[in-house]
A and B are shown apart, each in its own frame.
Chain A
Amino acid sequence: MDHFPTNWGNPRSEDVDSYNTYPVASNSGTVPHSVREIAGFGHAGGHPTSHTQQPVVTGTSVLGIKYKGGVMMAADNLASYGSLARFRDVERLHQVADFTVLGASGDMSDYQYVKHLLDSQMIKEYNADDGHTLATPNIYEYLWRVMYNRRSKMNPLWNTFVLGGVHKGEGFLGAIDLKGTPYQSPSIATGFGSHLAQPILRKEIENRGGEENITEEDATQILKKCMKVLFYRDARSMNKFQLATISAEGVKISEPMSVETEWAFAEKIRGYGA
């Protein structure tokens, strides 16, 4: 194997190098430090700056729905490595504050980094010890700034986040994607869920005449139904998921659960069954 990373993806011979990438590493010896910093050659080992261009270990859809008195969210416990169901006990719903939960789809290492950022912010607030804390809209704004800042550096955090919470007696539900686009709605579904679950969530809300007519029990059933649909049709999903409930009483994140599924029909699918 070629252990020289700047050669990776390039022609093996330096005689065939139409992009003139070959001598990049050697620049570290001849170019002054200040120039390297500006030109972007400045990282350790003299390798060129690298940016995230694709997610690696990924989580699939996160769902969120407002109901009377709060917000409920759902995400399964799977972190995939490509199409491989690599990690099957990952918690993708994280309690950030007393009344705020973060749900993450997309790259799981970026999610862990953002969790760390938010937890650090909350600790900073706590240490100020002055009676102020960050409420859900404040955390949302901060998350938005982080995501937009990173996309502006052409190095995005490869996630779509869902932030759910309760603030001043009202439910709060918002999403932010890797480009830093904020979006608030009575129901939110990321990734595959935006195609498969969001229509169901919207219809359920519409049929009841608005989220104010949805009880906590209704919301649980609606989300379970959506998770079942996602498990049937999203090949990166898993029938093991958690629900987060945020209400005036605080945050409750359930133990992992599953839904009943029926696979008898699969026999009749050409190319799947017998």
Chain B
Amino acid sequence: MFRNQYDNDISTWSPQGRLHQIEYALEAVKQGSASVGLRSNTHVVLLALKRSSGELASHQQKLFRIDNHMGIAIAGLVSDARVLSNFMRTECMKSKMMYDRPMPGSRLVSLIGDKAQINTQNYGRRPYGVGLLVGNYDEDTGPHLYECLPNANCLEYFAVSIGAKSQSAKTYLEKFAKDFGEIDVDALIMHGLHALRETLQQDKELNINNCSIGVVGKGQDWHVVEGDRLKAYLDQLESGVAPAASAEDLPQGEAMDTE
């Protein structure tokens, strides 16, 4: 393996000015299956490719609900992601309890950044081995999509992907990102599926078992698209038909109206 004098602990610099342990943590994110996120002016869609360890095993969970207005997609160590999602859920509950206010996405993302940063500077700790895509809808500032990585970088994006072969998805997203602003949720999901398909290994295909879609947006609480609805999107993807613009077919958020 790579013998490196300067990668024994997190708090030792290499003479090139690099912290190798942090870079290894970023590699852990790349080992995980891909997650894709993209956003219009009204909605955020998160998609993920789910792996299964064998024919008889279930598929891993890639999307997590944080609150009604927020969900995440992950790539990397699922156990680390569960710790972080638990933290995020707790913070959202605290915000509701103390201020009767949904946790602002930007603030929660900064808190995660602070937590992750501590793991990059203190001897004896390890960085998180997971990357997060955070999608949230805020009543005042609209939809937001953030990426949080083990190196404590948290950035906002129009569209982004993380995980194995995520560069292929990024290439797709970069090509079409200028269209995303005004399109409806269905079209956004179809773009997401196209991007996610780019991350597949050869001779693999997206199906209802290995694919997750989560949506949150104006008048729609966070929900995961499953079953027949998911199948309809995948059929469209296979037939190559342009996405139909029927927002009525989408699951509705509880006690809120859509447009």
A residues at B contact (CB < 8 Å)? 128, 130-132, 134, 137-138, 140-142, 145
CB distance from B251 to the nearest CB of A (A): 27
| Cβ A132 vs Cβ B99 within 8 A | no
| Cβ A134 vs Cβ B140 within 8 A | no
B residues at A contact (CB < 8 Å)? 97-101, 104, 106-107, 140-141
Residues of B within 8 A of A141 (CB): 98-101
A contact face: mostly helix, strand, loop, or mixed: helix
| Cβ B106 vs Cβ A130 within 8 A | yes
A145–B99 CA distance with the chains assembled, in angstroms: 9
Assuming the contacts A131-B140, A131-B141, A132-B140, asked whether A145 and B107 have C-beta atoms less than 8 A apart, the reply is no
Residues of B within 8 A of A134 (CB): 99, 101
A130–B140 CA distance with the chains assembled, in angstroms: 11
Residues of A within 8 A of B98 (CB): 141-142, 145
CB distance from A184 to the nearest CB of B (A): 13
Residue of A nearest to B104 (CB): A132
| Cβ A138 vs Cβ B106 within 8 A | no
| Cβ B99 vs Cβ A138 within 8 A | yes
| Cβ B99 vs Cβ A142 within 8 A | yes
A130–B99 CA distance with the chains assembled, in angstroms: 17
Residues of A within 8 A of B97 (CB): 145
A138–B100 CA distance with the chains assembled, in angstroms: 6
CB distance from B228 to the nearest CB of A (A): 38
A134–B140 CA distance with the chains assembled, in angstroms: 12
Residue of B nearest to A134 (CB): B99
CB distance from A121 to the nearest CB of B (A): 9
Residues of A within 8 A of B104 (CB): 130, 132
CB distance from B185 to the nearest CB of A (A): 25
A141–B99 CA distance with the chains assembled, in angstroms: 5
Given A128-B107, A140-B100, A141-B98, 9 new contacts (CB under 8 A): A130-B104, A130-B107, A131-B140, A132-B106, A132-B140, A134-B101, A138-B100, A141-B99, A145-B98
| Cβ A138 vs Cβ B140 within 8 A | no
Chain A CB within 10 Å — which of B99, B104, B107 has the most?
B99
Residues of B within 8 A of A130 (CB): 104, 106-107
8 A-B pairs whose Cβ atoms sit less than 8 Å apart in the complex:
A130-B106, A134-B99, A134-B101, A138-B99, A138-B100, A141-B98, A141-B100, A145-B97
A141–B98 CA distance with the chains assembled, in angstroms: 6
CB distance from A251 to the nearest CB of B (A): 20
Residues of B within 8 A of A142 (CB): 98-99
Residues of B within 8 A of A140 (CB): 100
A140–B97 CA distance with the chains assembled, in angstroms: 12
Residues of A within 8 A of B140 (CB): 131-132
A130–B106 CA distance with the chains assembled, in angstroms: 7
Residue of A nearest to B95 (CB): A138
CB distance from B112 to the nearest CB of A (A): 15
A71–B234 CA distance with the chains assembled, in angstroms: 54
A138–B101 CA distance with the chains assembled, in angstroms: 7
Residues of B within 8 A of A145 (CB): 97-98
CB distance from A145 to the nearest CB of B (A): 6
Query: Pick the contact of B100 from A128, A132, A137 — CB < 8 Å?
Result: A137
A137–B99 CA distance with the chains assembled, in angstroms: 8
CB distance from A151 to the nearest CB of B (A): 17
Residue of B nearest to A133 (CB): B140
A128–B97 CA distance with the chains assembled, in angstroms: 20
Residues of A within 8 A of B100 (CB): 137-138, 140-141
